Amino acid sequence: MALELLKKAERMTEADNAPNFPRRVSLRAATFNSLGCYYRSRGKLNAALQFVEKAIKIQQRFKDTENPSRILINYAVLLSTMSRHKEAVEHLEGAIAILNDQERQISCDGGDGSRAQQDCVCALIVAHFNMWIELSRLGRRVASVDCAIRALNIARMKLGAAHSLTNRMEDALVVSREELARNAPPPRSGLPALANDARPRSAEPEEGARAD
């Protein structure tokens, strides 16, 4: 049923079927992105890649597409699944840049505390969380700690200490610091140390969070 609806949306957003509909391009990109998520969830990675890359091409050609960061985040998750971690980092950097700009614009427009700002901040934390995973898998442990700290600071300031994403980034920072302390050579100037009783909930980074 889901695939049938997505295929119907793909047909309805073709140029010949909706030539004068203002949101046609954005909806077509969103449809391709959703098809990519559908096929990824079923393990059909090549099909997923084809559809998400179609969404990326639309996004690059038409700058007014909706939620471009969501497409980039999902593309990065797909690339990560295919062990293309360096490429995933590049697309997450793009998503983070877009989301930072959006969040600043919302604040400038007086939208502090609004649902739009919260959604933007949540997406920004998701992007940072996935960036932390990719940097960890690439062995860039110092950068992964820095990424986790930035995300945690944003989460605490914008979402509050009790939010689930704040808790997730706290766990990510604990894992990153333990990985750094265990695998890196002894630093000359010292690194932030964990309390003796601090332990991560998971010894390995979990799979990337999607933006859909």
- pLDDT for residue 154: 92
Q: Is 83 left (phi over 0), alpha (psi -120 to 50) or beta?
A: left
CB atoms within 10 A of CB 27: 18
**In angstroms, rounded to a whole number, what is the distance separating the alpha carbons of residues 19 and 14?**
8
> In tens digits, what is the pLDDT along the chain, a chain of 212 residues?
788 888 888 787 787 776 777 778 888 898 999 999 899 889 999 999 999 999 999 988 887 677 889 999 999 999 999 999 999 999 999 999 999 999 999 988 888 878 888 899 999 999 999 999 999 899 898 898 899 999 999 999 999 999 999 998 999 888 888 888 886 544 343 322 323 333 333 334 445 566 55
Could you tell me the two tokens for 183?
């695998």
DSSP annotation of 62 reads -
* Residue tagged 């990510």 (tokens): 172
CB atoms within 10 A of CB 149: 18
Taking only the tens place, the pLDDT of each residue in 77-107 is 999 999 999 999 999 999 999 999 999 999 8
**In angstroms, rounded to a whole number, what is the distance separating the alpha carbons of residues 96 and 102?**
10
- What's the pTM value of the predicted model, to 2 decimals? 0.77
**At residue 145, what are phi and psi to the nearest 5 degrees?**
-65, -45
